[in-house]
A = this chain, B = another copy of it.
Amino acid sequence: MDRFPQKERLILAYKLISPFIHRTPVLTCSSIEAMIPAQLFFKCDNFQKGGSYKIRGATNAVLSLEEEHKRAGVATHSSGNFAQALSIAADTAGIIPYIIMPGNAPPVKIQAVRSYGGRVILSESTLKSREQTLHKTIAKHGSTFVHPSNDMDVIIGQATMAMELIDEVEQLDYIVCPIGGGGIGAGTCLACLHFSPGTKVIGAEPMNADDAYWSVKKGSIQPSVNPDTIADGLRTQLGNINFPIIKELIQEIIRVEEDQIIAAMRLVWERMKIIIEPSSAVSLAAVLFNKDQFENKRIGLIITGGNVSLDHLPFD
């Protein structure tokens, strides 16, 4: 256990970031519970600042910077939730956030990042161009790079989501968590390790982007090759900092099909009247379509976010 961050570091992170984040609600829904049947506890970071859990890790990374590094700002490349999250977190702390975004990102996303104080620097859409632009930005301003998921401060920040869930709901048999880049997955594992060792962490992943499933199976990080899933937050692959945590602590990774993700998302929208993004629905899909395993258990579901484009919905 010594190779993992200690309990005290997680407690410290929670104290550090809690003035700047929402303590999000844990919701229940008896009609969905009856379908398993099981007790389901939805930890709803779709209601978090910026619309996703990403603000947790971003805030912890920003506030953990040493004073002499704060002046030069932080930088990342992201066109998704982390771009917004780092902008909000850095702007709140009076630190300049440089956000590298591909020029073909939706204008509404670029605008959103700017509205939160992010200094957007456009690159070509290739990974190579994005990384080159990032390196140039860091060289120019001396900024600190904050990776969206493969950074220990970010991982520990994301752990606070499961810490809040565990604090509110006792004796969970499982926490089911979507696995994308590995930040929230590793954070959830650390939270259970230290605060609820009897709770098993189960990863949930789209069948069409199952690099984490194969990484755990083969014992080494597998690339995410041509991921083709509506769960756009889960297309990325694991990193060398979060993978050892996931590999050792996760119980298993359950894969779900695209139509199962959409069905689970629709169910939550219709029955719970809350908006969750497809990446969040993957958690519920893993439970809904593997009922035998979860029958009569107490299950926490990590609902990662609610940022969905209403112009492009999968319902028909």
What distance in Å separates the Cβ of A252 from its nearest Cβ neighbour in chain B? 30
B residues near A266, Cβ cutoff 8 Å: 310
Complex interface residues of chain A between 276 and 316 (CB less than 8 A to chain B): 276, 306, 310-311, 313, 315-316
Selected interface stretch from A75-83, A219-227, A267-275:
A267-275
| Pairwise interchain contact A47-B310, C-beta atoms closer than 8 A | no
Q: Answer whether residue A97 sits at the interface, using C-beta atoms and an 8 A cutoff.
A: no
| Pairwise interchain contact A273-B270, C-beta atoms closer than 8 A | no
| Pairwise interchain contact A310-B273, C-beta atoms closer than 8 A | no
B residues near A311, Cβ cutoff 8 Å: 315-316
What distance in Å separates the Cβ of A108 from its nearest Cβ neighbour in chain B? 10
Q: Answer whether residue A51 sits at the interface, using C-beta atoms and an 8 A cutoff.
A: yes
- A25 and chain B: residue at smallest CB distance: B25
| Pairwise interchain contact B51-A273, C-beta atoms closer than 8 A | yes
Given the contacts A51-B273, A273-B46, A275-B274, A310 and B306 also touching, CB distance less than 8 Å: no
| Pairwise interchain contact A273-B306, C-beta atoms closer than 8 A | yes
Copies in the complex: 2
B residues near A47, Cβ cutoff 8 Å: 273
B residues near A46, Cβ cutoff 8 Å: 273
Query: A36-73 interface mask toward B, CB cutoff 8 Å, 1 = contact, 0 = none?
Result: 00000000001100010000000000000000000000
What distance in Å separates the Cβ of A28 from its nearest Cβ neighbour in chain B? 11
- In the bound assembly, the distance between CA atoms of A273 and B269 in angstroms comes to 10
- In the bound assembly, the distance between CA atoms of A117 and B275 in angstroms comes to 28
- A270 and chain B: residue at smallest CB distance: B310
What distance in Å separates the Cβ of A171 from its nearest Cβ neighbour in chain B? 25
- In the bound assembly, the distance between CA atoms of A163 and B262 in angstroms comes to 38
- A51 and chain B: residue at smallest CB distance: B273
What distance in Å separates the Cβ of A287 from its nearest Cβ neighbour in chain B? 21
- In the bound assembly, the distance between CA atoms of A313 and B315 in angstroms comes to 10
Query: A247-270 interface mask toward B, CB cutoff 8 Å, 1 = contact, 0 = none?
Result: 000000000000000000010011
What distance in Å separates the Cβ of A247 from its nearest Cβ neighbour in chain B? 33
- In the bound assembly, the distance between CA atoms of A310 and B268 in angstroms comes to 12
- In the bound assembly, the distance between CA atoms of A266 and B311 in angstroms comes to 10
What distance in Å separates the Cβ of A31 from its nearest Cβ neighbour in chain B? 10
Across the A-B interface, the 4 shortest Cβ-Cβ residue pairs: A273-B306, A310-B315, A273-B275, A46-B273
- Supply 20 A–B pairs (Cβ within 8 Å), ascending by A: A46-B273, A47-B273, A51-B273, A266-B310, A269-B275, A269-B310, A270-B310, A273-B274, A273-B275, A273-B276, A273-B306, A274-B274, A274-B275, A275-B275, A310-B313, A310-B315, A311-B315, A311-B316, A313-B313, A313-B315
